[in-house]
Amino acid sequence: VDSNWLGQRVDDFILQQYPQWSYKQVQKLVEQGHIYRYKAKGKKLYTRLTDRLELDELVVVPTSAFWQSQIASPSGIEDPREEERKALHLTTKVRNMAQNMVLFKNEHVIVINKPAGIPMMGGNGVTVNVADMLPALKFTKSETPHICHTLDRETSGCVVLARSANMQRMLAKNFVRRVVPNSVFWGYCVGKPAANHGRIRMYFEEGRGSQIVA
């Protein structure tokens, strides 16, 4: 990992190096420990998809011999819902939903308002997600936007998308170096607390729909 990839998310880095692999394939390899990292000092580190790369790390991916001896070729690992998700990209309803989420757009970035209940990535039981909506947000660009950070499924809020790989790498560095302001989360309060300030120590539970209630 050189300075050009510093701060890049693991999943974005792998998908840019191996565009023939799907996100589902990369997710499976990471979860099974077949993709991992070596720190600059030589320490082996099992990684997560959302981890950000550090300078002089080594990212290890399976070789061709691995695919031949262990499991099928990467192109042969297909999620049974893959065709359903590909079809989802092209529906007018999903395309309109994605474009209605746009708050800001210029040559370099797009800022969307992610609704609560819609996850960033696909998974078991997930049909609509932000990653699948990205082709609908290309507009005049030929390149599909890149996700720069994530929000939890239950959280609504602003998500920054980069309109090029170079812009994504630059934003990733800014997130790591805290150049970008920290995230701010707002919660609605029913009623007025007795104190003007303090700390709430309560469990969270799922309310109606996709709401999270303390």
Could you list the active site residues? 152
Q: In sequence order, what DSSP letters do the residues of the chain get, joined into one string?
A: --TTTTT-BHHHHHHHH-TTS-HHHHHHHHHTTSSEEE-TTS-EEE--TT-B--TT-EEE---HHHHHHTS--GGG---TTHHHHHHHHT-HHHHHHHHHTEEEE-SSEEEEEEPTT--SS--TT----HHHHGGGG-TT-SSPPEE-S---TT--EEEEEESSHHHHHHHHHHHHTT-SPPP------SS--SSSS-------EE-STT-EE-
